[in-house]
Amino acid sequence: MTDEKKGRPPETRYFDRFLNKRIKVTPMVAGLPPITGELKSYSTYEIEIEMQNGRRVVIFKHAIYTIEEAPEPIITPKKR
Q: What is the mean pLDDT of the chain?
A: 85
The answer to whether the CB of 22 falls within 8 A of the CB of 38 is yes
pLDDT band at residue 80, thresholds of 50, 70 and 90? low
46 strand-pairing partners: 60
- Entry pTM: 0.72
The rounded distance, in Å, linking the Cα atoms of 80 and 37 is 29
Task: Sketch out the chain's domains with CATH numbers.
Answer: 14-69 (2.30.30.100)
List pLDDT tens digits, range 19-57: 999 999 999 998 999 999 999 999 989 999 999 899 999
Of 11, 64, 27, the residue nearest 42 (C-alpha) = 64
